[in-house]
Structure 1
Amino acid sequence: MRLHVGCAMWTYAPWQGRLIPHPLPPSERLRAYASWCNAVEGNTTFYATPAVATVESWAAQTAEDFRFVVKLPKTATHEQRLRGVDLRPFFTAMEPLGPRNHAFWIQLPASFAPADLGVIATFLYRLPRGYRYAVEVRHPSFFDDERSARQLEHVLGRVGAEWIPFDTVTLFRTPASSYAERDAWMKKPRVLRRTRALTATPIVRYIGRDDPQLTVAGWDYLVKAVVDWLAEGRSPTVFLHTPDNVDALTLARRFYSDVAAVVPELSPLPEPLPVAPPTLF
């Protein structure tokens, strides 16, 4: 019985010296993050494919059961729009992660509509087997039109892929009250909530508010969904976001604790590294 929780990044300036030891060399930053969470979103790969040596460093800093959900490059998803894509160099670069590579994350722009399901199906069918794949769609029709949702589920089910929902309901529940929230309102998708798992390894991205209390109040439904998934033998991964992400690390652990309060069989998360070395006085 495994639950994994994480954030959108492992290096973030507001965490340094407050939650994560600082300064740290690049070869130690992920290790420090992994003392807080047991999963992370691989967003950097969206912008550039890292060198193999860089990915080897990621693997060296994490345990084998740590989960990376690695985003496919934007050249494939946003520029070439899944057509004529050669991902062989990308998959080769990710090989050092081994079992840590939990799933390849295919985040599609909102312009991908139900009319593009044939393109999505062809792309998924041509991907190499042996990996997990998870698709994030943002077009509203996939969420508010039952027929479109079922068609997408059918396409994903044919290749055993998961549907990643990005839950923004809490973000949009009340008016924005900070610059970060206003920025998120302009950039994040406003779609209906989804809790239907297609595979044994569901993945959810949840974004709350800059006020931790509002973030916690909005995730009650997700705690219940995760408890149900665990009871069904599934192994979910949940990523916690807020508009400014200042408290995302502590919120990820708080979410894990809320689930563990209902499912005490869950193994505890690691103990975070001390921010500063102990002193004699």
Structure 2
Amino acid sequence: MTGLNTFEESQDEARTNKNTEPPQQTQNPPGTVTGMTPEPDHGETSWVGRDRLGDVRALVTGGDSGIGRATAIAFAREGAHVAISCLSSELADAQRTREIIDIDGRGGCEVFETDLRDEDRARELVDDAASWLGGLDVLVNNAGTQRGRRENGIEDLTTDEMREVFDTNLLGTFWVTQQALDHMESGSSIINVTSIQAYDPSGNLIDYAATKAALTNFTANLAQQLGPRGIRVNAVAPGPIWTPLIPSTMDADSIPDFGKNTPLGRPGQPSELAGAMVFLANNAEASYVSGALLAVTGGRPIF
């Protein structure tokens, strides 16, 4: 009964965290988990593995926090061996992800510092991760960035900012994916993280939304190209999710209302994306799922 009570207590804690309204706050990009109030739920105490990804070898870009951390934790508890990437400024969060996994994840975890805006480093990441893992079965293209603090919209958008977002979100994904194909065989899976912004874009996220729309088509195109090789390609479209990207790119006074425009009336937690990720990575449960997009948006439509 002790184990059951502990699980029920963790679920109560997770439910409380989901329904806690975040107060006004701000951080410098890219932001950190420890600087957030409340800290996001990545499934640290709530995700229970069921051996659905036993010995799968996975690379999760941007695995230091947010959706990437939740995915890495869930994958490891499902038995996967996980490599995660991060920027040097996010290393502390990435090391915390590895510590959480090392405590009770069935699979191992390794951290690779890199900047996906650099083509050579993006490709080296894949080769280094595949070498550590002994191959590559699942790629999660999660790393991304946005800039939302603009008073005058496109008039405040600089070329350098546009390049940063496009290089990280789109070109970085392209380079990593192309390099990953050297290590993937039939039965492998690629999961791209797009966004509701691809379907219902906010005016001040013109660059970010454009990259997410491109990634949606990239997913559909790639699924058609790689299907004959037995490699499945899918995407997950998150809605408003409570990650470091939010307080580090949004105005402080907008934070308390973040996610209230969804039918569920609240922001999602990173852990609430993990189920979709595990399902798409599982070559048994999702063996005929390719070219699909799963919406995790709190009820906001993507059609």
TM-score normalised by length of structure 2: 0.36
Q: Which has the higher contact order (CA 8 A, sep 6+)?
A: 1
